[in-house]
Amino acid sequence: MQDHIVVLTGAGISAESGLSTFRDNGGLWEQHSVYDVATPEAFERNRDLVLRFYNERRRQLKDAQPNQAHRLLAELEKRYRVTIVTQNVDDLHERGGSSSVIHLHGELTKARSSVYPEPVYDIGYNDINPGDCCDRGEQLRPHIVWFGEEVPMLEKAAEVVRTADYLLIVGTSLQVYPAAGLVYEVDTDVPITVIDPGEPASVSRANVIRKGAGEGVAEWVSRLAGNR
């Protein structure tokens, strides 16, 4: 049976493909805070602003390309069972070749009713505009888990982490809960590696590679091959 590698990824891996984050911009987007565009209350208060924010992110994503880290993680599937658990809402893991990806915080290329969680529609990189409705006539919204909302994929992700033979953490400070709690689901004898060029996530007994996502994943893959 193939060893199971579980990879937790965050904004740092997508940043190397040119996708900016709120942190890159001092926590602001056009002078708006994350709470102006990423909460249910924000959508109710200013629907047009929220839709415009995600439309711009979708256009940015369309022009972005998977980077070395995405591709290396996908190539691991030739020798291992690999599951990506990502906090990112982009599709760069899939476009990089990964076949098993769990999106904790939703997907930018999908939309759903603003009233009910289902059905979910694939919209690609197209805009969602005021007046765009689902089959029941309700306004569409991005298929994103906003602040204050439940994380429906969390339990599935926890189940996956519990089956890991290796846990790799790339590009996330693990400061956002409940996603940050996933690291505590891994068995105590499972090797944990954190890849981060700055101040890495504080994870007990973890090995740390202080490099960017692409360079760090390349080093980790090389170490893994040497241990086989």
Please report, in range form, the residues annotated as the binding site for NAD(+). 10-29, 87-90, 171-173, 213
Residues with a catalytic annotation lie at 105
* Interstrand relation of 207-209 and 192-195 (parallel, antiparallel or unpaired): parallel
6 DSSP 8-state letter: E
Rounded Cα distance between 53 and 49, Å, is: 6
Q: From the annotation, which residues make up the binding site?
A: 10-29, 54, 57, 87-90, 171-173, 213
My answer on whether omega of the bond before 119 falls inside 30° of 0, hence cis, is: yes
DSSP 139: B
| CA dihedral (145, 67, 94, 210) positive or negative | negative
- Known binding-site residues for substrate equal 54, 57
Q: Tell the residue number behind the tokens 């940015």, with chain if given.
A: 60
Over its C-alpha atoms, the chain yields an Rg (Å, rounded) of 18
- Residue 59 belongs to what H/E stretch? helix 47-63
